[in-house]
Structure 1
Amino acid sequence: MAQVEGNAQAENASLQPHVFKVVLLGSSSVGKSSLALRFIKNEFKEILPTLGCAFFTQIMEMDGSALKLEIWDTAGQEKYHSVCHLYFRGANAALLVYDIADKNSFQRAQIWWKELENEFQPEEIVVILVGNKTDLEDTREVTLEEGKEFAESNKLLFIETSAKLNHQVTEAFSAIARELLKREEQNGGPTQQKNPTLDLKNTGRARKGKCCLD
């Protein structure tokens, strides 16, 4: 299992960090590892498919609180599908990633969502649908409206990103972190809140600002 550690703007956070488990789910080659690497180290490179699972940690500061995100990057190949269930158990948040230029990956993301629904109660996990590879706009197969409609109908956060162009990658993870903190604050303990209502339009407007949650 590969492991990478990072630290983002946590120098001023004096309290013990809140620790959250975050899983990346989606088909092979949708860019899950690239998103994690861009967020952790602000780097992009072509990455071979993940075998089993890769593990990353990132410490960051959000609204005066320190957070430690334990990021589990799961393999997208079908042969690892059953193993991935072992990794997302106990998760506080999940990124459902698809490639906007690959319709099948969008359909696979919907299957992953159904499996999360079977594993978690709505208040137990924060889920964001991520349409990655906006740099492939010319070959897009999944419209912004399709992604937004699925997210809204299932009360998920939603954002489009490009790990290659560093487009809204930090915003995606920050949205997750902010929602996790909000749930913890509202409940005075473990993250619990139904139907996330975070408006990603206020988290940043890089390039075309293709993100939303109403």
Structure 2
Amino acid sequence: MAQALGAPCPGGAPGQPRVFKLVLLGSNSVGKSSLALRYVKNDFKSILPTVGCAFFTKELGSGAASMRLEIWDTAGQEKYHSICHLYFRGADAALLVYDITKKDSFRKAQQWLQDLEREAPPGDVVVMLVGNKTDIEEQREVTFQEGKEFAESKQLLFMEASAKLSYQVTEVFGAIARELLQREERKKGQPRTGDGGLALGGAPARQARCCAR
């Protein structure tokens, strides 16, 4: 993990992976960095609060079928809120993360969505709502149905996950990757017949299946 100061380099050159910018948004301590670290390095550990923004990359597939996710993990503390808006620019996708054991983090995820929509018109960015920390289900304050209904009302993808237990983390990022590729093909007017050999992770479990965009 490295602190990120600049913008990601553009991709798309022949033989190079297609590059997509993914921003992680949410309040402090919801587990944004833990989700990114689990996905990129399959690791979980106590992480200090992100200062400004941290940067991860993950390459999927190989050759002409490859893609690279450039993951921008924004700080959740209120004092960095205005700075984080800079990282919305040029984003292809966003994960709105909340802690299922903290109702306030769910409300703040909705505020982050409003901030994102001010920077980019709805539909321009692939957005997934993620309820993290299912490993402490006994402390749950936000039901699965609440998250699902809000996501459906805003036409967002939706899943629950646990970075600690590595539950559905690969599926979260894989669903985003698939949606990005499908959107790119729709723009070209070419129907997709598959993922071109990309290893994007298995399908979500039935209970936590993504809401359709």
Asked if Structure 1 and Structure 2 have the same fold, meaning a TM-score greater than 0.5 normalized by the shorter chain, the answer is yes
SS state at 2:137 partner? helix
Moved over 6 A (4+): none
Correspondence for 1:32? 32
Aligned length: 190
Higher-strand-fraction structure: 1
Specify the alignment match of 1:20 in structure 2. Answer: 20
Listed as ranges, the gaps of 5+ residues in structure 2 are 5-13, 190-201
Q: What secondary structure, in the 3-state scheme, does the structure 1 residue paired with 2:66 have? A: strand
Structure 1 counterpart of 2:209: 211
Code of the residue aligned with 2:208 in structure 1: it is K
Instruction: Give the AA of the match of 1:212.
Output: C
Query: How many angstroms does 1:89 deviate by?
Result: 1.0
Percent of aligned pairs with the same residue?
65
Matching residue's letter, 2:140: R
1:125 aligned partner: 125
- In the TM superposition, 1:135-174 aligns within 5 A as 135-174=135-174
Letter in 1 for 2:179: E
Whichever residue aligns with residue 179 of structure 1, its letter is: E
CA contact under 8 A between 1:171 and 1:203: conserved in structure 2? yes
1:113 maps to amino acid: L
Contact 1:15 1:65 in 2 (8 A): no
SS at match of 1:130: strand
Matched, 1:65 2:65: yes
Letter of the 2:178 counterpart: R
SS of residue matched to 2:152? helix
Give the partner amino acid of 1:173: F
Tell me how far 1:209 sits from its aligned partner. 4.0
| CA deviation vs aligned residue, 1:99-126 (integer Å, no higher than 9, x gap) | 0000000000000011111111223110
Deviations 1:114-152 (A, max 9, x none): 111111122311000000000010000000000000000
TM-score normalised per structure 2: 0.84
Q: Which residue in 1 is equivalent to 2:8?
A: none
The reply on whether 1:88 has 2:103 as its aligned counterpart is no
Structure 2 letter corresponding to 1:143 = T
Deviation at 1:80, TM superposition (A): 0.2
Deviations 1:157-214 (A, max 9, x none): 000000000000010001110000001011129xxxxxxxxxxxx8132xx7423314
* Structure 1 residue 2, shift from structure 2 partner: 1.7
CA RMSD of aligned residues (A): 2.0
1:46-66 C-alpha deviation (Å, 9 max, x unpaired): 11110111001110129x821
Deviation at 1:15, TM superposition (A): 4.0
Structure 1 residues without counterparts, runs of 5 or longer: 5-13, 190-201
Q: Deviations over 1:4-39 (max 9, x none)?
A: 9xxxxxxxxx94211000000000100000000000
Q: Aligned partner of 1:156: which letter? A: L
Residue 55 of structure 1: aligned partner: 55
